[in-house]
Structure 1
Amino acid sequence: MNAQLDYVEIRDLTVEFDGFVAVDSVDLTLLQGRVHFLIGPNGAGKTTLVDAVTGLANASGLVRYGSTDLLGLKPHQVVRAGVGRTFQTATVFEQLTVLQNLDIAGGVHRKARSMMRARRGIPSYVEEALDAVGLVDLRDRPAGVLAHGQKQWLEIGMLLVQDAKVMLLDEPVAGMSAEEREETGELLRRIGTERTIAVIEHDMDFVRTFADVVTVMHAGKVLTEGTVAEIQANQKVQEVYLGRTVEGATHA
Protein backbone atom coordinates (compact mmCIF):
# COMPACT_ATOMS: atom_id res chain seq x y z
CA MET A 1 0.00 0.00 0.00
CA ASN A 2 1.16 3.53 -0.77
CA ALA A 3 3.08 4.71 2.28
CA GLN A 4 2.01 8.30 1.56
CA LEU A 5 -1.64 7.65 2.32
CA ASP A 6 -3.06 9.44 5.35
CA TYR A 7 -4.60 7.42 8.14
CA VAL A 8 -6.06 7.74 11.62
CA GLU A 9 -4.55 5.36 14.17
CA ILE A 10 -6.73 4.51 17.18
CA ARG A 11 -5.16 2.40 19.91
CA ASP A 12 -6.57 1.21 23.24
CA LEU A 13 -9.30 3.87 23.11
CA THR A 14 -11.44 3.72 26.24
CA VAL A 15 -14.34 5.94 27.28
CA GLU A 16 -15.89 5.57 30.73
CA PHE A 17 -18.96 7.29 32.18
CA ASP A 18 -19.40 6.94 35.96
CA GLY A 19 -17.97 3.45 35.95
CA PHE A 20 -19.73 2.34 32.75
CA VAL A 21 -17.27 1.50 29.96
CA ALA A 22 -18.87 2.76 26.74
CA VAL A 23 -15.81 2.18 24.55
CA ASP A 24 -13.54 -0.60 25.71
CA SER A 25 -9.89 -0.71 24.54
CA VAL A 26 -10.70 -0.22 20.84
CA ASP A 27 -7.98 -0.54 18.19
CA LEU A 28 -8.90 0.81 14.77
CA THR A 29 -7.08 2.14 11.70
CA LEU A 30 -8.92 4.36 9.21
CA LEU A 31 -7.16 4.65 5.86
CA GLN A 32 -7.40 7.36 3.22
CA GLY A 33 -9.20 6.24 0.08
CA ARG A 34 -11.45 3.69 1.78
CA VAL A 35 -15.04 4.33 2.82
CA HIS A 36 -14.96 2.69 6.24
CA PHE A 37 -18.26 1.80 7.92
CA LEU A 38 -18.86 1.33 11.66
CA ILE A 39 -21.90 -0.84 12.36
CA GLY A 40 -23.41 -2.55 15.37
CA PRO A 41 -26.47 -2.52 17.63
CA ASN A 42 -27.61 0.66 19.35
CA GLY A 43 -25.39 1.22 22.38
CA ALA A 44 -22.40 -0.50 20.80
CA GLY A 45 -20.23 2.60 21.31
CA LYS A 46 -20.00 3.85 17.72
CA THR A 47 -21.05 7.46 18.28
CA THR A 48 -19.17 7.63 21.59
CA LEU A 49 -16.01 6.57 19.75
CA VAL A 50 -16.48 9.42 17.26
CA ASP A 51 -17.21 11.82 20.14
CA ALA A 52 -13.88 10.83 21.72
CA VAL A 53 -11.95 11.33 18.49
CA THR A 54 -13.48 14.78 17.97
CA GLY A 55 -13.01 16.11 21.49
CA LEU A 56 -16.58 15.73 22.72
CA ALA A 57 -15.93 12.89 25.17
CA ASN A 58 -13.02 12.36 27.55
CA ALA A 59 -11.05 9.23 26.68
CA SER A 60 -7.79 7.43 27.32
CA GLY A 61 -5.57 5.72 24.80
CA LEU A 62 -4.20 7.11 21.54
CA VAL A 63 -5.84 8.74 18.52
CA ARG A 64 -3.14 9.87 16.12
CA TYR A 65 -3.65 11.68 12.84
CA GLY A 66 -0.34 12.52 11.18
CA SER A 67 1.90 13.70 13.98
CA THR A 68 -1.00 14.91 16.15
CA ASP A 69 -2.53 13.02 19.07
CA LEU A 70 -6.15 14.20 18.99
CA LEU A 71 -7.04 13.07 22.51
CA GLY A 72 -7.11 16.01 24.88
CA LEU A 73 -7.66 18.58 22.14
CA LYS A 74 -10.71 20.81 22.22
CA PRO A 75 -13.25 20.32 19.40
CA HIS A 76 -12.12 23.43 17.49
CA GLN A 77 -8.51 22.25 17.69
CA VAL A 78 -9.54 18.89 16.25
CA VAL A 79 -11.21 20.74 13.35
CA ARG A 80 -8.05 22.76 12.74
CA ALA A 81 -6.07 19.51 12.69
CA GLY A 82 -8.16 18.46 9.67
CA VAL A 83 -10.77 16.25 11.30
CA GLY A 84 -14.49 16.99 10.90
CA ARG A 85 -17.71 15.22 11.77
CA THR A 86 -21.44 15.35 11.18
CA PHE A 87 -24.25 14.48 13.57
CA GLN A 88 -27.38 12.34 13.21
CA THR A 89 -29.38 15.57 12.98
CA ALA A 90 -27.88 18.08 10.54
CA THR A 91 -26.47 21.12 12.35
CA VAL A 92 -26.82 23.88 9.77
CA PHE A 93 -27.78 27.54 10.21
CA GLU A 94 -31.35 27.28 8.97
CA GLN A 95 -32.00 31.03 8.59
CA LEU A 96 -28.90 31.52 6.44
CA THR A 97 -28.53 30.57 2.81
CA VAL A 98 -26.66 27.50 1.62
CA LEU A 99 -23.89 29.80 0.40
CA GLN A 100 -23.66 31.62 3.75
CA ASN A 101 -23.45 28.31 5.63
CA LEU A 102 -20.53 27.22 3.48
CA ASP A 103 -18.80 30.59 3.74
CA ILE A 104 -19.06 30.59 7.54
CA ALA A 105 -17.74 27.03 7.74
CA GLY A 106 -14.80 28.01 5.54
CA GLY A 107 -13.94 30.78 8.00
CA VAL A 108 -12.29 28.22 10.28
CA HIS A 109 -9.13 28.55 8.20
CA ARG A 110 -9.27 32.33 7.66
CA LYS A 111 -7.47 34.76 9.91
CA ALA A 112 -9.60 37.00 12.10
CA ARG A 113 -8.42 40.11 10.25
CA SER A 114 -9.52 38.77 6.88
CA MET A 115 -12.91 37.81 8.36
CA MET A 116 -13.52 41.51 9.10
CA ARG A 117 -12.96 42.62 5.49
CA ALA A 118 -15.69 42.69 2.92
CA ARG A 119 -15.71 39.60 0.70
CA ARG A 120 -15.24 40.02 -3.03
CA GLY A 121 -17.10 37.28 -4.84
CA ILE A 122 -17.45 33.67 -3.82
CA PRO A 123 -14.24 31.87 -2.78
CA SER A 124 -13.25 29.11 -5.18
CA TYR A 125 -13.34 26.47 -2.43
CA VAL A 126 -16.98 27.37 -1.73
CA GLU A 127 -17.84 27.07 -5.42
CA GLU A 128 -16.11 23.69 -5.54
CA ALA A 129 -17.98 22.45 -2.47
CA LEU A 130 -21.34 23.61 -3.90
CA ASP A 131 -20.63 21.65 -7.06
CA ALA A 132 -19.36 18.57 -5.20
CA VAL A 133 -22.49 18.21 -3.08
CA GLY A 134 -24.91 19.13 -5.88
CA LEU A 135 -26.34 22.30 -4.32
CA VAL A 136 -25.28 24.89 -6.94
CA ASP A 137 -28.87 25.67 -7.92
CA LEU A 138 -29.88 26.07 -4.27
CA ARG A 139 -27.04 28.34 -3.18
CA ASP A 140 -29.34 31.28 -2.36
CA ARG A 141 -32.03 29.23 -0.59
CA PRO A 142 -32.27 29.33 3.22
CA ALA A 143 -30.86 26.08 4.59
CA GLY A 144 -34.05 25.61 6.61
CA VAL A 145 -36.13 24.93 3.49
CA LEU A 146 -33.84 22.19 2.18
CA ALA A 147 -35.01 18.60 2.12
CA HIS A 148 -33.54 16.29 4.76
CA GLY A 149 -31.02 14.76 2.38
CA GLN A 150 -29.95 18.15 1.07
CA LYS A 151 -29.20 19.32 4.61
CA GLN A 152 -26.93 16.32 5.07
CA TRP A 153 -25.17 17.16 1.80
CA LEU A 154 -24.77 20.75 2.99
CA GLU A 155 -23.11 19.50 6.18
CA ILE A 156 -20.71 17.42 4.10
CA GLY A 157 -20.07 20.53 1.99
CA MET A 158 -19.26 22.45 5.18
CA LEU A 159 -16.62 19.83 5.97
CA LEU A 160 -15.23 20.22 2.45
CA VAL A 161 -14.76 23.98 2.81
CA GLN A 162 -13.09 23.36 6.18
CA ASP A 163 -10.67 21.18 4.20
CA ALA A 164 -11.38 18.24 6.48
CA LYS A 165 -9.10 15.41 5.42
CA VAL A 166 -10.82 13.08 7.90
CA MET A 167 -14.63 12.95 7.84
CA LEU A 168 -16.61 11.09 10.50
CA LEU A 169 -20.27 10.87 9.47
CA ASP A 170 -23.00 9.77 11.88
CA GLU A 171 -25.87 8.05 10.03
CA PRO A 172 -25.80 10.40 7.02
CA VAL A 173 -28.55 8.59 5.08
CA ALA A 174 -31.07 8.12 7.91
CA GLY A 175 -34.46 9.25 6.64
CA MET A 176 -33.32 9.61 3.03
CA SER A 177 -35.14 8.30 -0.02
CA ALA A 178 -33.55 5.50 -2.05
CA GLU A 179 -32.45 8.04 -4.66
CA GLU A 180 -30.90 10.31 -2.03
CA ARG A 181 -29.06 7.36 -0.48
CA GLU A 182 -27.60 6.44 -3.84
CA GLU A 183 -26.49 10.03 -4.50
CA THR A 184 -24.93 10.22 -1.02
CA GLY A 185 -22.99 7.01 -1.57
CA GLU A 186 -21.65 8.23 -4.90
CA LEU A 187 -20.68 11.52 -3.23
CA LEU A 188 -18.71 9.67 -0.55
CA ARG A 189 -16.93 7.64 -3.23
CA ARG A 190 -15.98 10.80 -5.14
CA ILE A 191 -14.64 12.75 -2.20
CA GLY A 192 -13.22 9.70 -0.43
CA THR A 193 -10.27 9.15 -2.76
CA GLU A 194 -8.33 12.01 -1.17
CA ARG A 195 -9.81 11.73 2.31
CA THR A 196 -10.25 9.36 5.21
CA ILE A 197 -13.97 8.69 5.67
CA ALA A 198 -15.69 6.72 8.42
CA VAL A 199 -19.47 6.30 8.44
CA ILE A 200 -21.66 5.16 11.34
CA GLU A 201 -24.60 3.43 9.71
CA HIS A 202 -27.54 1.10 10.39
CA ASP A 203 -28.82 0.88 6.80
CA MET A 204 -27.34 -2.43 5.68
CA ASP A 205 -28.34 -1.95 2.04
CA PHE A 206 -26.29 1.24 2.02
CA VAL A 207 -23.39 -0.52 3.77
CA ARG A 208 -23.45 -3.43 1.30
CA THR A 209 -23.40 -1.07 -1.67
CA PHE A 210 -20.75 1.43 -0.62
CA ALA A 211 -18.49 -0.02 2.09
CA ASP A 212 -14.85 -0.77 1.34
CA VAL A 213 -14.28 -2.06 4.86
CA VAL A 214 -16.64 -2.64 7.79
CA THR A 215 -15.92 -2.65 11.52
CA VAL A 216 -18.58 -4.25 13.70
CA MET A 217 -18.82 -2.99 17.29
CA HIS A 218 -20.69 -4.65 20.15
CA ALA A 219 -20.80 -3.67 23.83
CA GLY A 220 -18.04 -1.10 23.37
CA LYS A 221 -15.60 -3.49 21.70
CA VAL A 222 -14.59 -4.30 18.14
CA LEU A 223 -16.27 -7.61 17.34
CA THR A 224 -14.65 -8.05 13.93
CA GLU A 225 -13.57 -6.18 10.80
CA GLY A 226 -13.45 -7.02 7.11
CA THR A 227 -15.18 -6.71 3.77
CA VAL A 228 -18.96 -6.77 3.51
CA ALA A 229 -18.83 -10.42 2.39
CA GLU A 230 -16.61 -11.37 5.32
CA ILE A 231 -18.85 -9.55 7.79
CA GLN A 232 -22.02 -11.15 6.44
CA ALA A 233 -20.48 -14.61 6.69
CA ASN A 234 -19.32 -14.11 10.28
CA GLN A 235 -21.42 -16.16 12.72
CA LYS A 236 -20.84 -13.81 15.66
CA VAL A 237 -22.02 -10.82 13.61
CA GLN A 238 -25.14 -12.67 12.58
CA GLU A 239 -25.89 -13.45 16.22
CA VAL A 240 -25.43 -9.97 17.67
CA TYR A 241 -26.46 -7.75 14.77
CA LEU A 242 -27.30 -8.97 11.28
CA GLY A 243 -29.76 -11.56 12.55
CA ARG A 244 -31.88 -8.73 13.93
CA THR A 245 -31.71 -6.97 10.56
CA VAL A 246 -32.88 -10.05 8.66
CA GLU A 247 -35.72 -10.78 11.08
CA GLY A 248 -36.80 -7.17 11.42
CA ALA A 249 -36.47 -4.11 9.26
CA THR A 250 -33.57 -2.86 7.17
CA HIS A 251 -32.46 -0.68 10.07
CA ALA A 252 -31.15 -2.36 13.21
Structure 2
Amino acid sequence: MSGLRIRDLRVSFDGFKAVDGVDLDVAPGDIRFLIGPNGAGKTTLVDAVTGLVKASGSVHFGDAELLGRPVHQIARMGVGRTFQTATVFEELTVLQNLDIAAGAGRSPWSLLRRRTSVPTVVSEALETINLTAQRDQLAGTLAHGQKQWLEIGMLLVQDVRLLLLDEPVAGMSHDERDATGALLGVVSRDRTVVVIEHDMDFMRSFARTVTVLHAGKVLSEGSVAQVQADPKVQEVYLGQGTRDA
Protein backbone atom coordinates (compact mmCIF):
# COMPACT_ATOMS: atom_id res chain seq x y z
CA MET A 1 0.00 0.00 0.00
CA SER A 2 1.31 3.45 -0.93
CA GLY A 3 0.92 6.90 0.56
CA LEU A 4 0.68 10.34 -1.00
CA ARG A 5 3.46 12.91 -0.53
CA ILE A 6 3.04 16.46 -1.81
CA ARG A 7 5.78 19.09 -1.60
CA ASP A 8 5.55 22.81 -2.43
CA LEU A 9 2.54 22.32 -4.73
CA ARG A 10 1.61 25.49 -6.58
CA VAL A 11 -1.15 26.21 -9.10
CA SER A 12 -1.81 29.66 -10.52
CA PHE A 13 -4.53 30.94 -12.83
CA ASP A 14 -3.69 34.29 -14.49
CA GLY A 15 -1.60 35.31 -11.51
CA PHE A 16 -4.10 34.08 -8.88
CA LYS A 17 -2.46 31.55 -6.56
CA ALA A 18 -5.11 28.85 -6.18
CA VAL A 19 -2.67 26.47 -4.45
CA ASP A 20 0.23 28.25 -2.82
CA GLY A 21 3.05 26.02 -1.60
CA VAL A 22 1.14 23.10 -0.08
CA ASP A 23 2.98 20.28 1.68
CA LEU A 24 0.83 17.25 2.43
CA ASP A 25 1.53 13.71 3.63
CA VAL A 26 -1.26 11.12 3.53
CA ALA A 27 -0.25 7.80 5.07
CA PRO A 28 -1.15 4.51 3.39
CA GLY A 29 -4.63 3.43 4.48
CA ASP A 30 -5.57 6.88 5.78
CA ILE A 31 -8.96 8.49 5.26
CA ARG A 32 -7.82 12.09 4.94
CA PHE A 33 -10.44 14.80 4.76
CA LEU A 34 -9.62 18.11 3.04
CA ILE A 35 -11.84 20.87 4.35
CA GLY A 36 -11.93 24.64 4.08
CA PRO A 37 -14.07 27.50 2.81
CA ASN A 38 -15.00 27.85 -0.85
CA GLY A 39 -11.98 28.95 -2.86
CA ALA A 40 -9.51 27.39 -0.43
CA GLY A 41 -7.90 25.30 -3.17
CA LYS A 42 -9.23 21.85 -2.30
CA THR A 43 -10.54 20.80 -5.73
CA THR A 44 -7.63 22.50 -7.51
CA LEU A 45 -5.21 20.44 -5.41
CA VAL A 46 -6.96 17.24 -6.48
CA ASP A 47 -7.02 18.48 -10.09
CA ALA A 48 -3.23 18.92 -9.88
CA VAL A 49 -2.69 15.44 -8.44
CA THR A 50 -4.75 13.87 -11.24
CA GLY A 51 -3.18 15.90 -14.03
CA LEU A 52 -6.14 18.11 -14.89
CA VAL A 53 -4.28 21.36 -14.22
CA LYS A 54 -0.65 22.35 -14.57
CA ALA A 55 1.25 22.59 -11.29
CA SER A 56 4.76 22.96 -9.95
CA GLY A 57 6.33 21.20 -7.01
CA SER A 58 6.23 17.46 -6.44
CA VAL A 59 3.48 14.87 -6.01
CA HIS A 60 4.59 11.33 -5.23
CA PHE A 61 2.25 8.36 -4.91
CA GLY A 62 4.50 5.67 -3.56
CA ASP A 63 7.76 6.03 -5.47
CA ALA A 64 6.18 7.53 -8.60
CA GLU A 65 6.16 11.23 -9.45
CA LEU A 66 2.75 12.25 -10.80
CA LEU A 67 3.31 15.86 -11.84
CA GLY A 68 3.93 16.35 -15.53
CA ARG A 69 2.23 13.12 -16.55
CA PRO A 70 -0.94 13.05 -18.68
CA VAL A 71 -4.27 12.22 -17.06
CA HIS A 72 -4.56 8.73 -18.55
CA GLN A 73 -1.08 7.76 -17.40
CA ILE A 74 -1.79 8.91 -13.83
CA ALA A 75 -4.98 6.84 -13.89
CA ARG A 76 -3.02 3.77 -15.00
CA MET A 77 -0.71 4.32 -12.02
CA GLY A 78 -3.61 3.58 -9.67
CA VAL A 79 -4.94 7.07 -9.02
CA GLY A 80 -8.69 7.65 -9.43
CA ARG A 81 -11.19 10.32 -8.55
CA THR A 82 -14.88 11.06 -8.39
CA PHE A 83 -16.58 14.38 -9.02
CA GLN A 84 -19.37 16.17 -7.17
CA THR A 85 -21.88 14.79 -9.68
CA ALA A 86 -21.63 11.05 -10.28
CA THR A 87 -20.46 10.20 -13.79
CA VAL A 88 -22.08 6.85 -14.56
CA PHE A 89 -23.65 5.51 -17.76
CA GLU A 90 -27.28 5.94 -16.74
CA GLU A 91 -28.72 4.02 -19.71
CA LEU A 92 -26.66 0.92 -18.82
CA THR A 93 -27.05 -1.46 -15.89
CA VAL A 94 -24.92 -1.43 -12.78
CA LEU A 95 -23.13 -4.54 -14.03
CA GLN A 96 -22.49 -3.03 -17.45
CA ASN A 97 -21.03 0.10 -15.86
CA LEU A 98 -18.61 -2.01 -13.84
CA ASP A 99 -17.81 -4.15 -16.90
CA ILE A 100 -16.83 -1.10 -18.91
CA ALA A 101 -14.74 0.31 -16.07
CA ALA A 102 -12.98 -3.02 -15.63
CA GLY A 103 -11.99 -3.02 -19.31
CA ALA A 104 -13.31 -6.55 -19.69
CA GLY A 105 -12.87 -6.38 -23.46
CA ARG A 106 -16.50 -7.16 -24.20
CA SER A 107 -18.02 -5.75 -27.38
CA PRO A 108 -20.83 -3.15 -27.17
CA TRP A 109 -23.29 -5.81 -28.36
CA SER A 110 -22.26 -8.33 -25.72
CA LEU A 111 -22.60 -5.66 -23.04
CA LEU A 112 -26.29 -5.45 -23.85
CA ARG A 113 -26.85 -9.16 -23.18
CA ARG A 114 -27.34 -10.67 -19.76
CA ARG A 115 -24.11 -12.48 -18.96
CA THR A 116 -23.95 -15.95 -17.40
CA SER A 117 -20.84 -15.30 -15.31
CA VAL A 118 -19.32 -12.26 -13.66
CA PRO A 119 -15.56 -11.61 -13.31
CA THR A 120 -14.35 -11.93 -9.74
CA VAL A 121 -13.19 -8.33 -9.57
CA VAL A 122 -16.66 -7.14 -10.58
CA SER A 123 -18.54 -9.41 -8.18
CA GLU A 124 -16.26 -8.31 -5.35
CA ALA A 125 -16.89 -4.66 -6.18
CA LEU A 126 -20.66 -5.25 -6.27
CA GLU A 127 -20.47 -6.75 -2.79
CA THR A 128 -18.23 -3.98 -1.46
CA ILE A 129 -20.53 -1.19 -2.70
CA ASN A 130 -23.61 -3.16 -1.60
CA LEU A 131 -25.25 -3.18 -5.04
CA THR A 132 -25.29 -6.92 -5.80
CA ALA A 133 -29.10 -6.95 -5.70
CA GLN A 134 -29.17 -4.02 -8.15
CA ARG A 135 -26.66 -5.48 -10.64
CA ASP A 136 -29.20 -5.69 -13.48
CA GLN A 137 -30.86 -2.36 -12.68
CA LEU A 138 -30.32 0.64 -14.95
CA ALA A 139 -27.87 3.03 -13.31
CA GLY A 140 -30.16 5.94 -14.08
CA THR A 141 -32.82 4.49 -11.80
CA LEU A 142 -30.55 4.17 -8.76
CA ALA A 143 -30.97 6.37 -5.72
CA HIS A 144 -28.60 9.31 -5.48
CA GLY A 145 -26.34 7.62 -2.95
CA GLN A 146 -26.25 4.40 -4.92
CA LYS A 147 -24.95 6.27 -8.00
CA GLN A 148 -22.07 7.59 -5.91
CA TRP A 149 -21.31 4.08 -4.65
CA LEU A 150 -21.39 2.76 -8.22
CA GLU A 151 -18.85 5.40 -9.23
CA ILE A 152 -16.60 4.26 -6.38
CA GLY A 153 -17.11 0.67 -7.54
CA MET A 154 -15.99 1.68 -11.03
CA LEU A 155 -12.71 2.83 -9.49
CA LEU A 156 -12.36 -0.36 -7.46
CA VAL A 157 -12.57 -2.62 -10.53
CA GLN A 158 -9.75 -0.57 -12.07
CA ASP A 159 -7.59 -1.45 -9.04
CA VAL A 160 -7.27 2.19 -8.02
CA ARG A 161 -5.01 2.46 -4.95
CA LEU A 162 -5.47 6.18 -4.28
CA LEU A 163 -9.08 7.37 -4.25
CA LEU A 164 -9.76 11.11 -4.42
CA LEU A 165 -13.42 11.80 -3.69
CA ASP A 166 -14.98 15.23 -4.24
CA GLU A 167 -17.89 15.77 -1.83
CA PRO A 168 -19.11 12.16 -2.03
CA VAL A 169 -22.08 12.66 0.33
CA ALA A 170 -23.47 15.91 -1.11
CA GLY A 171 -27.25 15.60 -1.33
CA MET A 172 -27.35 12.25 0.49
CA SER A 173 -29.78 11.26 3.22
CA HIS A 174 -28.48 10.58 6.72
CA ASP A 175 -28.62 6.81 6.15
CA GLU A 176 -26.80 7.14 2.82
CA ARG A 177 -24.08 9.24 4.48
CA ASP A 178 -23.57 6.59 7.15
CA ALA A 179 -23.42 3.83 4.54
CA THR A 180 -20.88 5.86 2.54
CA GLY A 181 -18.73 6.33 5.63
CA ALA A 182 -18.80 2.59 6.27
CA LEU A 183 -17.85 1.99 2.62
CA LEU A 184 -14.83 4.30 2.98
CA GLY A 185 -13.73 2.27 5.99
CA VAL A 186 -13.83 -0.94 3.94
CA VAL A 187 -12.11 0.62 0.92
CA SER A 188 -9.28 2.07 3.04
CA ARG A 189 -8.21 -1.37 4.28
CA ASP A 190 -5.91 -1.66 1.29
CA ARG A 191 -6.14 1.79 -0.30
CA THR A 192 -5.45 5.42 0.55
CA VAL A 193 -8.47 7.73 0.53
CA VAL A 194 -8.64 11.53 0.29
CA VAL A 195 -12.05 13.20 0.67
CA ILE A 196 -12.97 16.81 -0.13
CA GLU A 197 -15.92 17.56 2.09
CA HIS A 198 -18.12 20.34 3.45
CA ASP A 199 -20.33 18.12 5.63
CA MET A 200 -18.85 18.61 9.09
CA ASP A 201 -20.95 15.90 10.73
CA PHE A 202 -19.70 13.40 8.15
CA MET A 203 -16.12 14.54 8.74
CA ARG A 204 -16.42 14.18 12.52
CA SER A 205 -17.79 10.67 12.16
CA PHE A 206 -15.47 9.19 9.54
CA ALA A 207 -12.26 11.23 9.08
CA ARG A 208 -9.08 9.70 10.45
CA THR A 209 -7.03 12.82 9.82
CA VAL A 210 -7.97 16.27 8.56
CA THR A 211 -6.18 18.98 6.58
CA VAL A 212 -7.70 22.46 6.54
CA LEU A 213 -6.91 24.62 3.51
CA HIS A 214 -7.38 28.38 3.41
CA ALA A 215 -6.38 30.74 0.59
CA GLY A 216 -4.39 27.98 -1.10
CA LYS A 217 -2.32 27.13 1.97
CA VAL A 218 -2.47 24.54 4.75
CA LEU A 219 -4.03 26.26 7.75
CA SER A 220 -4.15 23.32 10.14
CA GLU A 221 -3.72 19.57 10.22
CA GLY A 222 -4.24 16.68 12.61
CA SER A 223 -7.00 14.61 14.14
CA VAL A 224 -10.60 15.81 14.06
CA ALA A 225 -10.30 16.93 17.69
CA GLN A 226 -7.04 18.78 17.07
CA VAL A 227 -8.39 20.62 14.05
CA GLN A 228 -11.66 21.56 15.73
CA ALA A 229 -9.73 22.96 18.71
CA ASP A 230 -7.47 25.13 16.55
CA PRO A 231 -8.45 28.80 17.02
CA LYS A 232 -7.36 29.62 13.45
CA VAL A 233 -9.76 27.02 12.06
CA GLN A 234 -12.60 28.21 14.27
CA GLU A 235 -12.05 31.76 13.05
CA VAL A 236 -11.95 31.15 9.29
CA TYR A 237 -14.06 28.07 8.80
CA LEU A 238 -15.56 25.80 11.42
CA GLY A 239 -17.99 28.31 12.87
CA GLN A 240 -19.47 29.04 9.47
CA GLY A 241 -19.09 25.44 8.32
CA THR A 242 -21.01 24.14 11.32
CA ARG A 243 -23.92 26.45 10.57
CA ASP A 244 -23.94 25.45 6.93
CA ALA A 245 -23.77 21.71 7.58
**What is the TM-score with the length of structure 2 in the denominator?**
0.94
Q: Name 1:30's counterpart in structure 2.
A: 26
Q: Deviations over 1:170-192 (max 9, x none)?
A: 00000000000000000100110
Contact 2:198 2:241 (8 Å CA) reproduced: no
Determine which of 42, 49, 59 is the counterpart of 1:46.
42
Per-residue deviation at 1:193?
A: 1.4
Q: Name 2:194's counterpart in structure 1.
A: 198
Per-residue deviation at 1:67?
A: 2.4
2:17 aligned with 1:21: yes
Distance in 2, Cα, partners of 1:62 & 1:153: 31
- Secondary structure (helix, strand or coil) at the match of 2:99 reads helix
Change (3 A) 1:116 1:178: closer
Q: Name 1:102's counterpart in structure 2.
A: 98
2:244 aligned with 1:249: yes
Structure 2: stretches of 5+ with no match in the other structure: none
Contact 1:232 1:238 (8 Å CA) reproduced: yes
1:49-198 maps to which residues of 2 (within 5 A)?
49-107=45-103, 114=105, 121-198=117-194
Per-residue deviation at 1:116?
A: 5.7
Distance in 1, Cα, partners of 2:177 & 2:65: 33
Q: Deviations over 1:178-213 (max 9, x none)?
A: 000000000100110110000000000000000110
**What is the TM-score with the length of structure 1 in the denominator?**
0.92
Distance in 1, Cα, partners of 2:151 & 2:235: 35
Q: Name 1:235's counterpart in structure 2.
A: 231
RMSD of Structure 2 on Structure 1 (CA)? 1.5
Contact 1:32 1:193 (8 Å CA) reproduced: no
- What amino acid is aligned across from residue 28 of structure 1 in structure 2? L
Per-residue deviation at 1:115?
A: 5.0
- Secondary structure (helix, strand or coil) at the match of 1:231 reads helix
- Secondary structure (helix, strand or coil) at the match of 1:137 reads helix
Distance in 2, Cα, partners of 1:18 & 1:31: 33
Structure 1: stretches of 5+ with no match in the other structure: none
Contact 1:13 1:27 (8 Å CA) reproduced: yes
Give the count of matched residue pairs.
240
Q: Percent identity?
A: 63
Return structure 1 stretches of 4+ with deviation > 2 angstroms.
114-121
